[in-house]
Amino acid sequence: MDYIKAFITGGLICVIGQILIDKTNLTSARILVLFVTLGVVLTGLGIYEPIVEFGGAGATVPLPGFGYALAKGAIKGVKEKGILGAFSGGVMATAGGIAAAIVFGYLTAVLFDPKSKN
Amino acid sequence: MESLDVKQKKINEEYQKYANSISPKSNTVTNCIMAFLVGGLICTIGQLISNIAKNYYNMNTEEASATTSITLILIAALLTGLGLYEKIGKRAGAGSVVPITGFSNSIVSPAMEHKREGYVMGIGAKMFSVAGPVLVYGITASVVVGLINYFFIK
């Protein structure tokens, strides 16, 4: 059942992105920035948590889920360490993903060459 | 001189009309279905990884979520390196952009593209051309949320 919920939730978030790409002139880079920021704001307002509880990976795998992890980490950080946690919590919660993206991204770019665009 | 400008303008307008008439109309409904299917599938794979991490490696929800992100980022980086992610993206649109795999793709793709400019200012700098703004806005917003929680909610 959690697979079906993940499929539907994740699919719907991507459909919102597709509509934005088709109906506005937003580039995919702007969509990514918008979605992460939206994830942070919605989590701060307590709206994204129920979506994660329903959709599981369907809500955490799309980019708003990255924003969710950032905001949740910052809120948790404040509870545990006060004002220092507001700065350290977000990055701490997402450190694994950020480091993985940098390391795997770097290594792949070093090892592979761009394919010719035919 | 002025008449040349007018002439040029007319040609541009005509060209624009012609280009519009021959370029294929992107069908939003088809695009949305493809985005739904591919985006949904990527999230389902994520759910599978998350369940494995929880059930077989005894991870809590946060650890399982981080493991899922790292695994998907690795897979997407390799697919981008092999030139396969672009092929998926052509049909999937936002379905391949919005998941964390699209974030990974947005790092590898420009880094490979600008490899010739060197390892520092080519790969090292260009890999952040999209990921940089994402981190800037994401981290800034999260600190703001943290500060609001500290001063007003706590």
Touching B: A residues 8-37, CB under 8 Å: 8-23, 28-29, 31-33, 35-37
Of B95, B129, B142, the CB nearest to A71: B142
Cα separation of B34 and A14, whole Å?
9
Look at residue A118 in the predicted model and tell me its pLDDT: 42
B72: region left, alpha or beta (phi > 0 left; psi from -120 to 50 alpha): alpha
Cα separation of A90 and A17, whole Å?
24
Look at residue B13 in the predicted model and tell me its pLDDT: 79
Look at residue B26 in the predicted model and tell me its pLDDT: 62
pLDDT at A3 over 90: yes
pLDDT at B112 over 70: yes
More confident residue, B2 or A14: A14
* Token couple for A99: 């480091």
Give mean pLDDT, residues A84-91: 96
pTM for this entry: 0.87
Alpha-helix runs per DSSP H in chain B: 2-22, 28-57, 61-81, 84-92, 94-97, 100-113, 125-126, 128-148
Enumerate the domain spans of chain A: 2-111
**Chain A residues near residue B97 by CB distance under 8 angstroms:** 14, 17, 21, 28, 31-32
Task: List all residues 6 or more positions away from B152 whose beta carbon is below 8 Å from its beta carbon.
Answer: none
How many helices (H) and strands (E) in chain A? 6, 0
**Chain B residues near residue A65 by CB distance under 8 angstroms:** 65, 100
pLDDT at B96 over 90: yes
Q: Is the dihedral of CA A7, B106, A71, A80 positive or negative?
A: positive
Q: Among all residues of chain B, which has the CA nearest to that of A76?
A: B146
Cα separation of A29 and B110, whole Å?
12
Which of the four pLDDT bands, split at 50, 70 and 90, describes residue B84? very high
Q: Do residue A15 and residue B139 have CB atoms under 8 angstroms apart?
A: no
pLDDT at A100 over 50: yes
The tens digit of pLDDT for each residue in B22-80 reads: 655 568 889 999 999 999 999 999 999 999 999 999 999 999 999 999 999 999 999 99
Of A20, A57, A115, the CB nearest to B83: A115
Tell me the pLDDT of chain B averaged across its residues: 90
The tens digit of pLDDT for each residue in A57-79 reads: 999 999 999 999 999 999 999 99
Which of the four pLDDT bands, split at 50, 70 and 90, describes residue A82? very high
SS3 B125: helix
Please state, for a pLDDT cut of 70, what percent of chain B lies above it: 92
Which of the four pLDDT bands, split at 50, 70 and 90, describes residue A17? very high
Cα separation of A21 and B114, whole Å?
25
Residue B149 gets which letter from DSSP? I
